[in-house]
Amino acid sequence: MKLSVLDWNTMTMNGDLSPECFSEFGETEVFGLTSHDETVKNIGDAEIVLCNKVVIGREVIDACPNLRYIGLFATGFNNIDTAYAASKRITVCNAGQYSTNAVAQQVFAYILSHYSRVEEYFRIVKNGGWESSPIFSYFPTASYELAGKTISIIGYGSIGRAVAKIADAFGMNVIVSTRTAPTDCTYMVTDIATAAEKADILTLHCPLTEHTSELVCCDLLSRMKPSSILINTSRGGTVNEADLADALNSGCIAAAYLDVLGCEPMSADTPLKYAANCHITPHVAWAPLETRQRLLGIVCGNLRAWMSGSPINKVN
């Protein structure tokens, strides 16, 4: 069989992963990135396509009659016309729950950064602040304990549960808000408005749907404490960025930590670029080496299962 990898650069930027593993499945062609205009050409006569964000819709499918399998380096599959693929007997498989630990870790990297002020104290020491201190301990910037703080988790899937588990270990109060009431949740479950009002930390772990689009808006932000922080590692579209920028600049909330934005890569004119106390990372929560290795293993496992006649992780 012939296999085409359309956007390998989304999996590695420094060569720490190799696409050599795909050679077991047949003749392989690897493209770093594929533009919309290059998609049909880069697929060519391949039966198997692996991609992350490349859009494969009706026109591409019609132009690639050999295509039989689409494998995703991602959990989301909104870039694939799955219904049309199914009508053409093309199997589409995604990779789920590969990044749970990594994203939960990133959430607490933000939280610890905010409350422990480690980076700020590094700078103070480097700039000579401790050397000039009249006492042994120099703490001009307040830091705070996590124990007793309230974390409100919006969405209670695998990542939300992992965040709750870590928060519990720190002695935090955990509140959960989710559309589907969990049957095995030991924490307080409430509506999103109450969760926002009680939160010291409001962290989003919900999918982007018609119900969650711009969920974080001026109304919800106005309910939060001035000392509270917002964390978003889910989808950028869950936040109204103009409303969040206004809330930060006016002191309505203390800070925001964001790994996702509505437009990615980040647009130069996003209102959050220069918003007060807005800390943005470039969609990296999912990207530790071990996480990407796990993802690659899932993608290869999906492909082996399909080739053996027993596909797993099908989404169509």
Question: Could you say which of 114, 235, 292, 294 is catalytic?
Answer: 235
Beta bridge partners of 64: none
- Residue of 106, 50, 103, 121 whose CA lies nearest to 79: 50
235 classed as catalytic: yes
Phi, psi of 185 (to 5 degrees): -95, 125
264 classed as catalytic: yes
Question: How many CB atoms are located within 10 Å of the residue 29 CB?
Answer: 15
Instruction: Tell me the CA distances in angstroms from 41 to 6, 45, 47, 98, 254, one per residue in order.
Output: 10, 9, 13, 30, 49
36 classed as catalytic: no
Q: How far apart are the first and last CA of the chain?
A: 22
Q: Locate tokens 């720490």: which residue?
A: 16
Question: Could you say which of 24, 59, 145, 264 is catalytic?
Answer: 264
- Residue of 295, 306, 310 whose CA lies nearest to 67: 306
Sheet holding 150-154, edge to edge: 188-189, 173-177, 150-154, 201-204, 229-232, 255-258, 278-280
Residue 300 host element (H or E): helix 289-307
Beta bridge partners of 91: 69
Q: Are strands 2-5 and 229-232 parallel, antiparallel or unpaired?
A: unpaired
Question: Could you say which of 117, 223, 279, 283 is catalytic?
Answer: 283
Residue pair 34/13 in contact by the 8 Å Cβ criterion:
no
- Annotated catalytic residues are 235, 264, 283
